[in-house]
Amino acid sequence: MLLETPTSMNANTSSLAGLIWSVADLLRGDFKQSQYGRIILPFTVLRRLECVLAPSKDKVLAMVETTKNMPDEAADKLLLNAGGQAFYNTSKLDLSKLGETQIWDNLDAYVRGFSKEAREIFEHFSFETSLTKLDEADLLYKVVQKFAHFDLSPEAVDNYHMGLVFEDLIRRFAESSNETAGEHFTPRDIVRLTTSLVFATDDDALTKQGIIRSIYDPTAGTGGFLSCGMEYLHELNDNAVLRTFGQELNPESYAICKADMLIKGQDISQIKLGNTLSNDQLRANRFDYCLSNPPFGVDWKKIEKTVKDEHNQRGFDGRFGPGLPRVSDGSLLFLMHLISKMQKPTADTVGSRIGIILNGSPLFTGGAGSGESEIRRFILEQDLLDAIIALPTDMFYNTGIATYIWVLSNHKPVERKNKVLLVNAADLHSPMRKSLGSKRKFLTDEVLAELVALYSRYDKAEIEQSDIAKLFSTRDFGYRRITVERPLKLAFEPHNAERIEAMKADKPWAKLDGTLQSAILTALGRFTQDKLLSRDQFKKALVSQMDGIKLPAPAFKLICKHIGEQDDAAEVCTSKGQPEANPDLRDNEIVPLSEDINDYFAREVLPHVPDAWIDTSKADELDGQVGIVGYEIPFNRHFYQYQPPRSLEAIDADLDEVSREIMTLLAEVHS
């Protein structure tokens, strides 16, 4: 079952967000565009908190009088109980009662009246600094009056749509300040799909009474994944409890997430501020569900030393044991971080499930032995990857690139063991009525239900008949890269003037003794043959004609480099009785893990190059077998459908039609 979402999901929320953002009209001139959000966002949070507390305001104020002489801890509990929320405000003021004179002092006192957790939210917004600037511009009263008239009560705007309002405001803020809005939140249709997939197979959470689960997002943004997880679970099982955990780097997003979790009664001490990769503030915690939309293609240079130290010093006892991706893209670091947060299945725990949104790069970037390949290898060989769903392009606010939902589990049912489901939902989109940044498409409820049902049923016959789904073994994505060598066969042309001049122009030639240089050139001139097909014969003849002057190995190597040339008709060069490989002819072959490398080599290589051989010295570090193991998931290749080119007749017809239109236009001009 999916959360009910109207197809016009952004219509009302966008309108309300636009109304709130219109406060920017007051700020224009006195503030830069990049400063608008730092004023509008905290005031929106303040008004939302005020509206949530309004029904119990009188009870809290009455309790304030009762608890005046009580210890802080006891008073705090009574005030929370009176307010019926996870926070309270002891001030008699609200935005409509601040007055026009001394408004800065009154507003500051009002904010300080919040309980500690709520008050700290405004500190992360640097709200006091914004209030001072507004007061100096003589705009504080006007802004307060604007917000005092916005109805942000839960009755008017429920938590789900309030989350959308916050996200729309952040998008507008990011656009006005040239920041990347998509780094702070994920479109809700994608959030719903990812959440639904992760929860889909947890029958206990969806049905049992009093079940307790935990959900974690290391890139929490405004808390979309956390909120959606709570809404989804409560929609299906009112008696289930979902405890939320998260960490966020951006202070404004963190403050909004914290406010949202506070309103929903969560323990906001478990929402942390900071860089998850360099400073995991929930290091000891493990979770039932992990959801994340890490930033696409963002480098991790700033934390490179910290990450590499953990990889080198802690190995698999840390988060990054399998390997490290290239510094230009940290997406796979977040995936490994989430894997480290999975709890092992026991008699008391069912294990963990992960839903993470990544771009196409983690599917295939990096060849065998690279950090990316080793990470994929670990995930697939540990049988953690359950499914990958390809999303349409133009689904995000700040980018139109292709994206994918990865679903991982460490407690797969029997029918899913060592299997990976690929689902291509790239063409299942609907157009937005109004684009939001780069987001021009969305997924309807019907599409969401279809995708979740396809994933949940996991019916082999249904998958085989589907145009959008394919089932693979985990080993289908693995291969072994073998090195194919071919023998060095050199032919020598001692009288080739062009090659001799090239040899003389080479830097190593200048380092040779003048007597040796002269002897070499004289010896080359004494050859009676124009071409020799044996290196051994060439060297023997060369030495014999150097008048007793010794030929050092580096000098002969230089001569071979310029005077010799690969020639299939020549004799094979040997070293210690073994054929010598020509590095210029070295090649690699990719052999599926399901196939023996010798069988592959005999079938695919030897018929074309009979003298080739496999370099058996290049073996995989983990399994010790010949060839380096690699893993990639060529998603597009598996769903590629050939589109035949248009016929020449059709192209000619189009050209004729365009020519006629041009001639008609020219005739109109001349007339």
- Per DSSP, the residues of 631-649 read E---HHHHT----PPPPHH
Task: Name the segment(s) of the chain with CATH classification 3.40.50.150.
Answer: 183-478
pLDDT digits (tens, 9 = 90+) for 443-496: 999 999 999 999 999 988 899 899 999 999 999 999 999 999 999 999 999 999
**Average pLDDT over the chain, rounded to an integer:** 90
* Residue pLDDT, tens place only, 158-168: 887 888 888 78
Q: What is the model's pLDDT at position 185?
A: 62
d(CA 299, CA 331): 9
Residue 190 pLDDT exceeds 80: yes
Examine the pLDDT at 19 and tell me if it is beyond 90. yes
Q: In the numeric block, which tokens belong to residue 617?
A: 């010295």
Quick one: pLDDT band at residue 45, thresholds 50, 70, 90?
Answer: very high
What is the 3-state composition of the chain as percent helix, strand, coil, each rounded to the nearest 5?
50, 15, 35
pLDDT recorded at residue 403: 93
pLDDT at 629 over 80: yes
Q: How far is CA 473 from the centre of its chain?
A: 24
- pLDDT score of 439: 83
Q: What is the mean pLDDT of residues 308-315?
A: 96
pLDDT at position 433: 84
Question: What is the structure's pLDDT at 436?
Answer: 73
Task: Provide the pLDDT for residue 7.
Answer: 35
Contacts of 349 (CB under 8 A, 6+ apart): 288, 343
Least confident of 342-351, 568-577, 605-614: 342-351
pTM over 0.75: yes
**pLDDT for 92:** 93
**pLDDT mean over 127-148:** 94
Of the pLDDT bands very low, low, confident and very high (cuts 50, 70, 90), residue 181 is very low
pLDDT > 90: what percent of the chain?
67
pLDDT in tens, 251-303: 888 988 898 888 888 888 899 999 999 999 999 999 999 999 998 888 999 99
Read off the pLDDT band of 628 (50, 70, 90): very high
Give the Cα separation of 46 and 231 in Å (integer). Answer: 23
Measured distance CA(408)–CA(290) in Å, rounded: 9
| Residue position matching structure tokens 């010093």 | 313
Distance of CA 368 to the CA centre of its chain: 21
What is residue 226's predicted lDDT score, i.e. its pLDDT? Answer: 92
- Structure tokens belonging to residue 575: 């070293």
**Dihedral (C-alpha) 594, 598, 600, 604: value to the nearest 10 degrees?**
170
pLDDT at 310 over 50: yes
Q: In the prediction, which pLDDT does 11 show? A: 55
Burial category of 337 from C-beta neighbours within 10 Å (exposed 0-12, middle 13-18, buried 19 and up): buried
CATH of domain 1-179: 1.20.1260.30
Indicate where the chain has its CATH 1.20.1260.30 domain(s): 1-179
Task: Give the model's confidence band at 597: pLDDT under 50 very low, under 70 low, under 90 confident, else very high.
Answer: very high
| pLDDT given for residue 8 in this prediction | 40
The residues facing 491 across adjacent strands are 565
Quote the percentage of the chain above a pLDDT of 70: 96
Least confident of 55-69, 204-218, 443-457, 552-566: 204-218
Task: Please check the confidence at residue 141 and state whether its pLDDT lies above 50.
Answer: yes
Q: Can you read off the two tokens belonging to residue 155?
A: 């009755």
> For the domain bounded by 183-478, which CATH number is listed?
3.40.50.150
Top pLDDT among 287 and 638 is at 287
Alpha-carbon gap, residue 123 to 281, rounded angstroms? 20
- Judged by average pLDDT, the poorest of 207-211, 322-326, 414-418, 442-446 is 207-211
Instruction: Check pLDDT > 90 for residue 423.
Output: yes
